[in-house]
Amino acid sequence: MIKLYDYPASGNCYKIRLFLNILGVAYETVPVDFYPGLEHRNADFKAINPLGQLPVLDDDGFVIRDAQAILAYLASKYDAAGTWFDRDDPVALGKTMMWLAFADQITATSSAARLHDVLGFDLDVDAARKGAHAAFRILDDHLIEQEFVGEYWLAGDRASIADIACFPYVALAPDGGINLGNYHGIRRWLARIKRMPDFVEMPGIFLEFDEPMAAE
């Protein structure tokens, strides 16, 4: 069975749990004591991932790190219909890869602000929040442009692994003191993702009662 080296409060681990649930693929987790144990920095874990980062996926002996790489791998192997990662159309592939890379930009800023605000990590939180807002403006503009052409997802007219990759640390931004109130395109996109069948929550990302539930 698939093994996911996991930390429940990590948005990057969560995106893998979310996608596995959407695909209906069974897996087991190996809980890693990211905080306060800092187990990801010890020698045993670095033998699994020399970068000392979560998540890591072990699929029957094939070990792969990096959340975005794991999403691409899982889609290629387990999404029989091929809707989550279109590798045949060069334009669709290019767009998906572009937004997959953008997810790292969000992690570097929004996730850093959250680590500061929640776990007291010593870092420049003002710079992190500023960076997150810069990324969110780009994301918000893109999502609103998508709505104008009748496409409601990052890389086209259907949800892809790019949406899964960018979703967690946008949704968790308020944990880092980043207000999403003015990003209307982002807020509608978050609500669309939360309404997907087989959506699962994580602490800090939950279905809100006052969110619009009507279809687009």
Partner 1 sequence: MAKTTDAFALNEWLVIGRLEDATHDKPRVTRLLGQDIRAERTADGAIGVWETDLAGNKGRALPVQERYGHIFVTLGDTPRDLLEMPEFEEEGRRLVTIGYVRVKTSPLRVVENFLDLGHFPYVHTNYLGAEPQTEVANYKAEIREDVDEVWATDCSFFQQKAAKSATDGQQSEYEYRVTSPFITVLYKTCPIKPGAWDLVGLFVQPLDEDLCEAHSFVLPFDEENTDVELRHFQQTIFLQDRPILENQLPALLPLTPGTEMPARADATSMTYRRWLKKKNITFGVQKDAASTNSRAA
Q: Does 33 bind partner 1 (CB under 8 A)?
A: yes
Q: Does 203 bind partner 1 (CB under 8 A)?
A: yes
Per CB under 8 A, contacts with partner 1 among 65-104 are none
**Window contacting partner 1 (CB under 8 A); options: 59-67, 101-109, 112-120, 144-152:** 112-120
Closest CB 191 distance from partner 1, rounded Å? 17
Q: Name the 3-class secondary structure at 13.
A: helix
Closest CB 125 distance from partner 1, rounded Å? 11
Per CB under 8 A, contacts with partner 1 among 164-183 are 174-175, 177
Closest CB 201 distance from partner 1, rounded Å? 8
**Window contacting partner 1 (CB under 8 A); options: 42-50, 59-67, 132-140, 199-207:** 199-207
Burial 24-59, CB ≥16 within 10 A → b, else e: eeebebeebebeeeebbeeeebeeebeeebbbbbbb
Instruction: Count CB-CB contacts under 10 A for residue 2.
Output: 18
67-78 and 90-106 helices, crossing angle to 10°:
150
* DSSP letter assigned to residue 61: T
Q: Does 48 bind partner 1 (CB under 8 A)?
A: no
Q: Retrieve residue 9's tokens.
A: 């409060």
Q: Does 39 bind partner 1 (CB under 8 A)?
A: yes
Q: Retrieve residue 57's tokens.
A: 């996926």
- 3-state percent helix, strand, coil for the chain, nearest multiple of 5: 55, 10, 35
Q: Give yes or no for a contact between 57 and 64, defined as CB atoms under 8 angstroms apart.
A: yes
The single residue listed with the structure tokens 């592939």 is 93
* Residue whose CB is less far from partner 1, 79 or 117: 117
Q: Does 138 bind partner 1 (CB under 8 A)?
A: no
Closest CB 19 distance from partner 1, rounded Å? 20
Nearest residue to 162 via CA among 85, 105, 100: 100
* Residue whose CB is less far from partner 1, 120 or 150: 120
Q: Does 120 bind partner 1 (CB under 8 A)?
A: yes
Closest CB 80 distance from partner 1, rounded Å? 30
- Contacts to partner 1 by CB under 8 A: 7-9, 31-33, 35-37, 39, 117-120, 174-175, 177, 203-204, 206
